[in-house]
Amino acid sequence: MQLPTQFEDSMKAALGGEYDAFRAALDQDPQVSIRINTRKVSAPTKGVEVPWCATGQYLDKRPSFTLDPLLHAGCYYVQEASSMFVEQVYRQFIDTEAPVVLDLCAAPGGKSTHLASLLDGKGWLVSNEVMRNRVNILRENIIKWGAPNVTVTNNDPADFGKLTGLFDLILVDAPCSGEGMFRKDEQAVEEWSPENVRFCAERQRRILADIFPALAEGGILIFSTCTYNEEEDEQNVHWIAEELGAEILRIETDPAWNVTETDAGYHFYPHKTRGEGFFLSALRKTEEEPACKRKKKKEAKVALPPSAKELTNWLTEPVKLTAHNDVIYAIPADQADLVDMLSEHLRVLQSGVEVATVKGKDLIPSQHLALAWTLRNGVFPTVDLSWQEAITYLRKENLTLPANAPKGYILLTYRSVPLGWVKNLGNRCNNLHTQEWRIRMQVDGLEFNDFLEL
């Protein structure tokens, strides 16, 4: 790998005698790691644990993830291990029972799905992505993960301006010059320049200044990048502390993790820590911030069809049902006001769980419901698929069900984990898998060895 000379010079200055080890690490293969969705898969895997994340696992090789139905079922997320350090901030500094959390730069959803697991169904997560072309993959990953307490939005950081003091935790995983991604992404090497570093650092300040009013007084800000340079990392953290009003927090780390601590945060270097390059800092907001008022809105009458009553029985938790056109969503009853307020100010793509679409007298269960943590067991008949059948389903091809399968909507599972729906008409069945999510890869003759222990 050919590195830009100015990058090499700055790393030599930062790392001194460690530079050669760092340089050698860049020529090694990236680590492969996953984070388990313990709401869906309880057993540990065969991998080695990521020490700073209770659900993180290293794998000794990279399986063909696309061919694993359990990936499509949201049982795990393929995520680089250093990024999982976010968990330490959550565990060490968030003591609110039901925090309101914002992941501002969220696509494709690695840290959002992690935060959703840490919230474990309590409080609320707003998972935001400003780029329109990246928000669909975020939404897909959030749906597959299955948490019932997430709103996906597509907003510029400045759009959060009216939601002052709303969030107990804001994660800004900022767009950056990507030095830490060099061994994974050649384009990051090609795009690197001192000018781009400066451009990124300035953009990060704009993002931080725009979002800071939305953080509650005493709330926690996580600022992270996948880059090493001081301009984007330390200098920006000091700027937040001094200009925006926050104290930099010390995160407890185990010396065995080999994380490098500076006066402003924590660096993950690939020659020392098992993961890609990463930087993270946690700050507590000291600046006063009057919280925006959560108005109790008058109950808007939502025209739900009479059959919709049945939907509350499909779910394990008390919910408020809302309808947009023919689609019905379930919001946990205690968060309905918050969700209304978010819809008033933000471009919301989805809140809560999409439960069903109304078609005449029929209620068509949504893919989201199949994958949600709150789907009640036993409401729908299930058919467990072989690997080959699961792949046929995920490719949205025709599937043949066992002759004794009942008519109507059937929940398909793979190794007992829900995958999605078919409507069994008797002589054939309709594959209801989401068109945009289907596997496009040619799979003829391929095999897959399950690697999760279920």
Binding residues for ligand SAM (CB under 6 A): 83, 105-111, 129-131, 134, 157, 173, 175, 203, 207
Q: Count CB atoms within 10 A of the CB of residue 149.
A: 26
Closest CA to 354 of 379, 324, 383: 324
Which of residues 173 and 234 has its CB atom nearest to ligand SAM in the complex?
173
R_g over Cα of the chain: 23
Which of residues 99 and 418 has its CB atom nearest to ligand SAM in the complex?
99
Q: Least CB distance from residue 206 to ligand SAM, whole Å?
A: 7
137 token code pair: 């993959």
Per-residue DSSP letters for 150-199?
EEEE---GGGGGGSTT-EEEEEEE-----GGGTTT-HHHHHH--HHHHHH
* The amino acid at 44: P
Q: Least CB distance from residue 100 to ligand SAM, whole Å?
A: 18
Q: Count CB atoms within 10 A of the CB of residue 154.
A: 20
242 token code pair: 């001094």
Work out the angle at residue 46's Cα, subtended by the Cα atoms of residues 270 and 447, and round it to the nearest 5 degrees.
100
Q: Least CB distance from residue 174 to ligand SAM, whole Å?
A: 6
Which of residues 149 and 224 has its CB atom nearest to ligand SAM in the complex?
224
Q: Least CB distance from residue 303 to ligand SAM, whole Å?
A: 36
Q: What is the DSSP letter of 81?
A: G
Which of residues 131 and 302 has its CB atom nearest to ligand SAM in the complex?
131
On whether the CB atoms of residues 422 and 393 are closer than 8 A, the answer is yes
Q: Least CB distance from residue 329 to ligand SAM, whole Å?
A: 24
Q: Least CB distance from residue 266 to ligand SAM, whole Å?
A: 16
Q: Least CB distance from residue 158 to ligand SAM, whole Å?
A: 9
* The amino acid at 451: F
Which of residues 68 and 129 has its CB atom nearest to ligand SAM in the complex?
129
Residue 410 DSSP SS3: strand
Which of residues 109 and 418 has its CB atom nearest to ligand SAM in the complex?
109
Inter-axis angle of helices 132-145 and 110-119, nearest 10:
40
Q: Least CB distance from residue 121 to ligand SAM, whole Å?
A: 20
Q: How far apart are CA 315 and CA 278, in angstroms?
A: 39
Q: Least CB distance from residue 94 to ligand SAM, whole Å?
A: 18
Q: What is the DSSP letter of 427?
A: S
Q: Count CB atoms within 10 A of the CB of residue 387.
A: 16
Q: How far apart are CA 450 and CA 454, in angstroms?
A: 9
Q: Least CB distance from residue 210 to ligand SAM, whole Å?
A: 8
Which of residues 175 and 245 has its CB atom nearest to ligand SAM in the complex?
175
On whether the CB atoms of residues 151 and 342 are closer than 8 A, the answer is yes
Which of residues 108 and 148 has its CB atom nearest to ligand SAM in the complex?
108
35 token code pair: 């984070």
Per residue, what are the HEC states of 26-74?
A: HCCCCCEEEEECCCCCCCCCCCEECCCCCCEEEECCCCCHHHCHHHHCC
Q: Least CB distance from residue 201 to ligand SAM, whole Å?
A: 13
Q: Least CB distance from residue 221 to ligand SAM, whole Å?
A: 14
Which of residues 87 and 129 has its CB atom nearest to ligand SAM in the complex?
129
Which of residues 144 and 320 has its CB atom nearest to ligand SAM in the complex?
144
Strand partners, 268: 278
Q: How many Cα atoms sit within 13 Å of 2 on the Cβ side? A: 3
* The amino acid at 121: G
**Alpha helices (H) along 157-277:** 186-191, 194-211, 234-239
Which of residues 134 and 238 has its CB atom nearest to ligand SAM in the complex?
134
Which of residues 209 and 443 has its CB atom nearest to ligand SAM in the complex?
209
Work out the angle at residue 354's Cα, subtended by the Cα atoms of residues 166 and 359, and round it to the nearest 5 degrees.
145
- Cα 293 to chain centroid, rounded: 28
